[in-house]
Structure 1
Amino acid sequence: MMYADLIDQEDLLGQLKALGFEVPYGSTAEQACEYAVRGLDDVRANDLRRMVKDMYTSSATILPAVREAFDKQLLPALAQYQQSRSA
């Protein structure tokens, strides 16, 4: 039997909590990303970028709910933050 490494919403919540983000228990991936991008500062933005990069470059498969949360919430917020810092 083959087992694949998967990144699901529980993994995402665990990663965010390990980085010190307050994410309520039972949050969806999208809700977790919403909480993570509130009050972004340079340190939080860098931590989130590193987390996303690590997830995308790992051999694990990112499940669709997590990928969608990144696409809808996390990545746009990080891009907007970066743009506001460059202005």
Structure 2
Amino acid sequence: MMHADLIDQEDLLGQLKALGLQIPSGSTAQQACECAVRGLDTVRANALRKLVKDMYTSSATILPAVRQAIDKQLLPALAEYQQTHS
């Protein structure tokens, strides 16, 4: 039986926590992304950009709820941060 590499909500939460972000346990992907972009600074923005790039360029399948949270929460916040801090 084949097992596909998947990035699910728990993977996202784990990766955000690994960056040192305070993400409440049991958060949805959207809630986790909302927490991740609060109080963005240069170091956090760069870490989040790298995380998203690594996820999107990996061979793993990103589950729809995770992709939607990234597309609607993380990416717009990172783009806004970059525009206001460049």
The TM-score, its normalising length taken from structure 2, stands at: 0.98
Match of 2:85, SS?
helix
Query: How many pairs does the alignment contain?
Result: 86
- The equivalent of 2:18 in structure 1 is 18
Tell me, in whole angstroms, the C-alpha distance in 2 between the residues paired with 1:27 and 1:77: 19
Tell me, in whole angstroms, the C-alpha distance in 2 between the residues paired with 1:42 and 1:70: 18
- The equivalent of 1:73 in structure 2 is 73
Residue 32 (1) aligns with residue 32 (2): yes
TM-superposed deviation, 1:29 = 0.2
TM-superposed deviation, 1:74 = 0.5
Identity of aligned pairs, percent?
81
Tell me, in whole angstroms, the C-alpha distance in 2 between the residues paired with 1:46 and 1:25: 24
Q: Which amino acid is 1:9 matched to?
A: Q
Match of 1:22, SS?
coil
User: What is the root-mean-square deviation in Å for CA atoms of aligned residues?
Assistant: 0.4
Q: Deviations over 1:33-65 (max 9, x none)?
A: 000000000000000000000001111000000
Q: Which amino acid is 2:32 matched to?
A: A
Unaligned runs of 5+ residues in structure 1 are none
**After TM superposition, what 4+ stretches of structure 1 lie above 4 angstroms from structure 2?**
none
Q: Which amino acid is 1:68 matched to?
A: Q
Match of 2:79, SS?
helix
Tell me, in whole angstroms, the C-alpha distance in 2 between the residues paired with 1:57 and 1:10: 19
